[in-house]
Amino acid sequence: MSEERSLNFIEEIIENDLNSGKYETLVTRFPPEPNGYLHIGHAKAICLSFGLTKKYGGYTNLRFDDTNPVTEKTEYVDSQQEDIKWLGFEWKNELYTSDYFDTLYDFAVKLIEKGVAYVDDSTADEIAALKGTPTEAGTNSPFRNRSVQENLELFSRMKSGEFPDGTCTLRAKIDMASPNMIMRDPIIYRIKHAEHHRTGNKWCIYPMYDFAHGQSDSIEEITHSLCTLEYVSHRELYDWFIAELGIFPSHQYEFARLNLTYTVMSKRKLLQLVNENLVDGWNDPRMPTISGLRRRGYTPESIREFCDRIGVAKRENLIELSLLEFCVREHLNKTANRVMAVLDPIKLVITNYPEGKSEILIGENNPEAEDKGGTREIPFSNELWIEREDFMEEPAKKWFRLAPGTMVRLKHAYIVKCEDFKKDAEGNVTEIHCTYIPESKSGEDTSGINVKGTIHWVSTAHAKTAEIRIYDRLFSVESPDSEEGDFKDYLNPESMKVIKEAYIEPYLAEANLDSRYQFIRKGYYCLDQDSTAEHLVFNQTVGLKDAWAKAKK
C-alpha cells in the first residue's frame, strides 16, 4: 500500500488544499443522470471520486442529477446504485438534484432581484439566432431589459403553469459578446409540463444543468467537484453562479474521460445497441457497461485495478482493451478454481484400462492460491472426451500434444500413449486410441517418463453438458467513433460464439452465479444468468494467453 506512487494532478491539488488548510475535510460527489446504465467510463469517475475520499478521508455523496424529467427513470436509479455498490464503494448521502428544486427556485428569484436574470419570450430558434457564433458576438434579446418586477411576476407565472412548454425561459444576464459561448445569457430554467420520477407533477419548470450542478455541489459543500473535460468551458459559469449567489465555493476540476479500444462509450450509442436489439440488453456480456462486465465475469477488484492503472490526466486517451483483460486475468488467476471442460470434444479410448471401471482422482483446485484452493474429486474411466485440437494426425513442428505414437499427461491422471485413431468416411478423426501407463498416476508417478504436453479431459460416463458462450470484441475496429459512417457498420459479426454442447466435469454442477472458474488451458468462465439446473450456461470472461496459437501464425 505504501509503495511510492506519484500523485495525479487532482491528488496534487487536494494535498495542497488539505495541507494549506483551505479545507479540513475532503468532500466529493458522483453525480450521474439516471437516464441509462453505468459503464466502465463511469467506473473511472467512481473510482476517482470515491477513491480520493477513501485515500484522504472525508466522504463522497451519490447525487442523481435529475433535472430533465423526460429522460430519467427510477429503473436507472436502481441499477446505478447496484453497480456502484458492486464496484465496492459506499456513499455518505443518497441525494437528488430534485431535492433542491425549492432552493434552486429561490436562487433564481435572487438573481432576478439582483437584476442578473430575466424572462425571455423568444422562441428556441430566436434564441439560437441571437446567440452569435464562436467568431461573432451575439445580440441582446429584446426582452433583456425587463424590470425586476416584471421578471419576478413572469417567473412566478412560469412556475404556476400558466405558460405552455417553450413559450419562455429564464436566462442569466451575463454577456452576449463573451468569447465563451456558454456565458452568452445561458438559459437557466425552462418550462416542461412533464412528470418527474420523484417530484411527480409538482413542478412544470426545471433548472438546466448549469443552474443546478454547481449550486448542488455548493449546497452539499463539495470541496472538489470532478467531471470530464467537456465541462471545462462550463466552469466559468459554475463559478459565476456561485459568486453571484454568494454561496459555498465548490470548485470544479476536469479530467479526460476514458475511451477503450473496440467499443463505444457514449450512452446514446449504447442505448441504440440495446434498442435495436444488436445486443441482449444493457447487461449483454459484450457491453462495456458495469452490468455487462459483471455478467461477463469481471470482478470488482479487476475493474478497480484497471481504473487505478489507467491513471488520471487531461489528455485525450484511448486505452487498449488488453489492459482490462490483463487486470481480470491477474485477479482470476489468483482466485478462480481450475476445472476441466472440453469445448470441442473428440473421444479418447484407453484400450488397456478396464471397461466399466472408474476411479476417483484428486485434483488441486488452484496452484496459485495460498491454500491451493483445496482439492476436488474427478472421476476417471477408460473413455474420455478430449479437445479435438489436442490431436494432430500429422504433428506440426514442436507439437507437444497427441499424435500417432506420442505421449501426453492427462491432467491430474495418467500418461497415455497414442496407439491408433479412427476416421469417418469424410476423413474426420472420430476416435483416438491410447494405452495408459499405470505407474504414471499423478502425484505418485514412478514411471520415470517425462512428457512435454499435459491436456485436459472429462470422463464420458461422468461428464455433464453445458452451453458455452464465447465473446470477442464488440467492434472490429479500434475506434468505431472515429470511423467514417455509422458506428454500427463496424460491429464485429463474430462477437459471440455459442457452443451448444460442451462437456464439463461433474464438480461444475455446483457452480453458482458468484463462482468463477478457470477452464484449464482455455480461459476464465462464469455461470450466466440464463443458466438453469437442467441447462447450464457459462460465459467466457476472457481467454488464457495462448502462446501456441500465436506461434502457429
Partner RNA sequence: UGCCCGAUAGUAUAAAGGUAGUACAACGGUUUUUGGUACCGUUUGUCUAGGUUCGAAUCCUGGUCGGGCAACCA
Q: Which of residues 477-516 bind RNA (CB under 7 A)?
A: 482
- Taking each helix axis as running N to C, give the angle between helix 74-87 and helix 300-310, from 0 to 180 degrees, rounded to the nearest 10: 80
19 binds RNA (CB under 7 A): no
Of residues 242, 219, 190, 211, the one with CA closest to residue 93: 219
DSSP letter, residue 257: P
Residue 193: partners with Cβ closer than 8 Å, 6 or more residues away: 161, 164, 165, 204
- Among candidate residues 11, 33, 301, 330, the one labeled active-site is 33
Q: Is 426 a binder of RNA (CB under 7 A)?
A: no
Identify the residue among 358, 454, 492, 515 touching RNA (CB under 7 A): 454
Are 551 and 397 spatial neighbours (Cβ–Cβ below 8 Å)?
no
Q: Is 374 in the site for RNA (CB under 7 A)?
A: no
Instruction: Tell me the closest approach of the beta carbon of residue 523 to RNA, in angstroms.
Output: 9
Give, as ranges, the residues between 61 and 80 that touch RNA (CB under 7 A).
Answer: 65, 67-68, 71
Select the residue interacting with RNA from 144, 347, 411, 433 (CB under 7 A).
411
Provide the minimum distance between the beta carbon of 349 and RNA in the complex, in angstroms, as a whole number.
21
Tell me which residue of 266, 269, 246 sits closest to 257, measured CA to CA. 266
Size of the site for RNA (CB under 7 A): 92
DSSP 338: E
For 120, phi then psi, to 5°, come to: -115, 125
426 SS3 class = coil
Interaction of residue 465 with RNA, rule CB under 7 A: no
Question: Taking the complex as a whole, how short is the minimal distance between the CB of residue 460 and RNA, in angstroms?
Answer: 20
Active site residue 295: no
Torsion of the alpha carbons at 331, 332, 334 and 335, rounded to the nearest 10: 120
Q: Binders of RNA among 116-145, rule CB under 7 A?
A: 122-124, 127-128, 131, 133-135
Q: Which is nearer to RNA, 235 or 469 (CB)?
A: 235
Q: Which of 245, 256, 265, 499 binds RNA (CB under 7 A)?
A: 256
Provide the 8-state DSSP code for 162.
-
546 binds RNA (CB under 7 A): yes
Residue closer to RNA (CB basis): 139 or 476:
139
The phi, psi pair for 480, rounded to 5°, reads -55, -30
Nearest to 480 by CA among 318, 358, 331, 371: 318
> Backbone phi, then psi, for 362, in 5-degree steps?
-105, 125
DSSP string over 353-399: S-TT-EEEEEEES-TTSTTTT-EEEEEEESEEEEEGGGB-SSPPTT-
Interface with RNA includes 271 (CB under 7 A)?
no
Binders of RNA among residues 313 to 342 (CB under 7 A) are 313-320, 322-323, 326, 329-330, 333, 338
Residue located via cell numbers 466399466? 356
Q: Is 24 a catalytic residue?
A: no
Nearer to RNA, 251 or 284 (CB): 251
Please state the closest distance from residue 441 (CB atom) to RNA, in A.
7
Q: C-alpha grid cell for residue 315?
A: 489528455
Locate 482 and state its grid cell: 472515429
Q: Return d(Cα 308, Cα 324) in angstroms, integer.
A: 11
- Restricting to residues 291-310, which ones interact with RNA according to CB under 7 A? 309-310
Closest CB to RNA among residues 213, 469: 213
Count of residues making up the chain: 553
Q: Is residue 107 a contact partner of residue 117, using CB atoms and an 8 Å limit?
A: no
* Residue in 40, 46, 191, 349 binding RNA, rule: CB under 7 A: 191
Q: Does 243 bind RNA (CB under 7 A)?
A: no
Residue 2 makes contact with RNA by CB under 7 A: no
Min dist CB 411 to RNA, Å, is 5
Nearest residue (CB) to RNA, 284 versus 345: 345
Q: Which one is catalytic: 73, 131, 257, 473?
A: 257
Residue 498: its H or E element: strand 496-504
Minimum CB distance to RNA, residue 141 (Å): 11
Annotate each residue in 198-237 with x if it binds RNA (CB under 7 A) or - if it does not, as one string. Answer: --------x-xxx--x---------------xxxxxx---
- Least spacing, CB of residue 470 vs RNA, in Å: 16
Question: How open is the CA angle 378-383-387, to the nearest 5 degrees?
Answer: 80
Separation in Å, CA 136 to CA 126, 141, 176, 177, 438:
16, 16, 10, 8, 88
Binding segment (CB under 7 A) for RNA, from list 7-15, 105-113, 271-279, 346-354: 7-15
Contact pattern for RNA over residues 158 through 187, marking x by CB under 7 A:
-------xxxxx---------xxxx----x
Q: Which of residues 433-452 bind RNA (CB under 7 A)?
A: 440-443, 445
Report the relative pairing of strands 375-381 and 523-527 from DSSP bridges. Answer: unpaired
Smallest separation (angstroms) from RNA to the CB of 248: 20
Residue 257 designated active-site: yes
Q: How far is the CB of 165 from RNA (least distance, A)?
A: 6
Q: Report CA torsion sign: 499, 504, 506, 508.
A: negative
Options 171, 198, 267, 516, the catalytic residue: 267
Output the smallest distance, CB 51 to RNA, in A.
14
Which among 217, 228, 226 has a CA at the least distance from the CA of 250? 217
> What is the Cα–Cα distance from 366 to 369, expressed in whole angstroms?
6
Name the nearest CA neighbour of 363 among 372, 373, 381, 375: 375
- Report if residue 544 touches RNA, rule: CB under 7 A: yes
Give the residue with the Cβ less far from RNA, 92 or 314.
Answer: 314
Ranges of beta strands (E only) in 424-486 are 429-437, 454-455, 457-459, 464-471
CB atoms near residue 327 (< 10 Å) = 23
Catalytic residue positions, numbered = 33, 257, 267
